[in-house]
Structure 1
Amino acid sequence: MIQLSHITKSFRSGRGQVKALSDISLSVDIGRFAAIEGVSGSGKSTLLYCIGGLEKPDRGEVRCFGTIIHRLTPSKLSLFQRRHLGFIFQRGNLLSYLTVAENIGMPLTLNGIVGKVRDKRIEALLSDIDLKSATNALPHELSGGETQRVSVARAIAHRPRLLLADEPTANLDTSTGRRVVQLMRDLAKDHGCTIIMATHDKEITDTAEPVIGLKDGQLIREEK
C-alpha cells in the first residue's frame, strides 16, 4: 500500500514562500490505477514526486510498501527507486544518445539483469509496444507517441511495484494518448504493478480508482 500522512511541501520563489501541498493524507491499495487530477498549479506533479522520492516533503510521511522513503539515506533511496519504482514523464525523457533498445534496457542493466535474460525482455517489450522495427532508432527519430511508448516500456522493464506517470498524454493527440494509457494498464496488469498518474484528462479519471482531486495544493476529494 502507498500511504501519505499529512504531507506539506513549500518552495521558495521570487514571490516568497509558495505552498505546493497542504496537509495531504491518502492511501492507494496495491494493484490500483489511481489518478491525481486538478488544474495546472494544483500540486499534482509535486504530490507525485513526493510519492516517488523525487521531492522530500517539509512535513508528513510517505510510506511505500512499508518503507518510509524520505527517511532513507540518498544511496538507499536511489536503490529503492531503482528496484521498485518506474517513472514516466510528459516528454518521455529518453536518453538522446541511446537507441530505443538501449533506453529500454537501461533499468535492467542497473538492476543487474544482463545477458540473454535482458535481451529477451527487451525484445518482448519492443513487441508489446509494437516498435520492433525501431530497435536501433535514436529518440529524435521517433514521433511523440512512439517516444511515450518507449518510455512506458523503459519504466516497466525491471517490473517495478509502482509506476508513477506525470501527465504522459499531455503532448499527444487523443487517439495516441488512449493507446499509451492502455499500454500502461496492460503492462502493469501483466506484472502486478500499481499505477499513480497525474492528469487533467477526464477520460482517464473516469476509469481510475481512486481519483485524488487537488486544488491549490489541498485534497478536495478522494473517490474510491
Structure 2
Amino acid sequence: MIQLSHITKSFRSGRGQVKAIADVTLSVDTGRFAAIEGVSGSGKSTLLHCIGGLETPDRGEVFCFGTSIYRLTAAKLSLFQRRHLGFIFQRGNLLSYLTVAENIGLPLTLNGIAGTARAKRIEALLADIDLKPAAMALPHELSGGEIQRVSVARAIAHHPKLLLADEPTASLDTATGQRVVQLMRDLGKDYGCTIIMATHDRDIADTADPVIGLKDGQVVTDS
C-alpha cells in the first residue's frame, strides 16, 4: 500500500512562497491503477514526485509498502528507488545515445541483471510493446507514441513494485495516448505493479480506480 500522511510542499518563486501541495493525506491499495487528476498547476506532478522520492516534502510522511521513504538516508532512498520504483515522464526521457534495447536494459544493468537473463528480459519486453524491429533504433528515429512505449518497458523492466507516470500522454494524440495507458495497465497487471499516474485528461483518469482529484494542491475528490 502507498500511504501519504499530511504531505505539504512549497516553493519560492518571483511571486513569493507558493504552496504546491497542502496537507494531503491519502492511500492507494497495492495492485491498483490510480490517477491523480487536475488542471495544469494543480500540484499533480509535485505530489507524484513526493511519492517517488524526487521532491522532499516540507512536512508529512510517505510510506511505500511499509517503508517511510523520507526516513531513509540518501543512499538507501536511492537504492529503494532503483529496486522498487519505475518512472515514466511526459516526454519519455530516453537517453539519446542508447538504442531502444539499451534504454530498456538500463534499469536491469543498474540492478545487477546481466547476461542471458538481461537479454531475455529485453527481448520479452520488446515483444510486449510490439517494437522488436526497432531494437537497434535510436530515440530520434521513433515516433512520440513509440518513445512512450519504450519508456513503459524501461520503467517496468526490473519488476518494480510501484510505477509512477507523470502526464505520460500529454504530448500524444488521443488514440495513441489511450494505447500507451492500456499498455501500462496490461504490463502492470502482468507484473503485479501498483500504478499511480498524473494526468489532466479526464477521459483517461476515469479509467483508473481510484481517481484522486487535485485542485490548488488539495484533494477535492477521492473515488
TM-score above 0.5, yes or no: yes
1:157 corresponds to: 157
For residues 141-167 of structure 1, the C-alpha deviation after alignment (integer angstroms, 9 at most, x for no partner) is 100000000000000000100000001
- Mapping of residues 32-181 of structure 1, within 5 Å: 32-181=32-181
Residue 206 (structure 1) shift:
1.4
SS of the counterpart of 1:18?
strand
Residue 24 (structure 1) shift:
0.2
- Structure-1-length-normalised TM-score: 0.99
Aligned length: 223
Identify which range, 66-75 or 29-38, moves more after superposition: 66-75
AA aligned opposite 1:85: L
SS of the counterpart of 2:35?
strand
Residue 200 (structure 1) shift:
1.2
For residues 98-133 of structure 1, the C-alpha deviation after alignment (integer angstroms, 9 at most, x for no partner) is 000000000001011110000000000001101001
Distance of 2:30 and 2:171 partners within structure 1 = 28
Residue 75 (structure 1) shift:
0.8
Unmatched tracts of structure 2, length 5 or more = none
SS of the counterpart of 2:55?
coil
- Indicate the RMSD between aligned Cα atoms, in angstroms: 0.6
Residue 72 (structure 1) shift:
1.1
Distance of 2:15 and 2:127 partners within structure 1 = 49
Residue 71 (structure 1) shift:
1.4
Residue 15 (structure 1) shift:
1.2
Distance of 1:50 and 1:206 partners within structure 2 = 23
Distance of 1:9 and 1:179 partners within structure 2 = 33
Unmatched tracts of structure 1, length 5 or more = none
Residue 221 (structure 1) shift:
1.4
- Divergent runs of 4+, >4 A: none
1:208 equivalent in alignment to 2:204 = no
AA aligned opposite 2:111: N
1:27 equivalent in alignment to 2:31 = no
- Structure-2-length-normalised TM-score: 0.99
Distance of 2:214 and 2:179 partners within structure 1 = 26
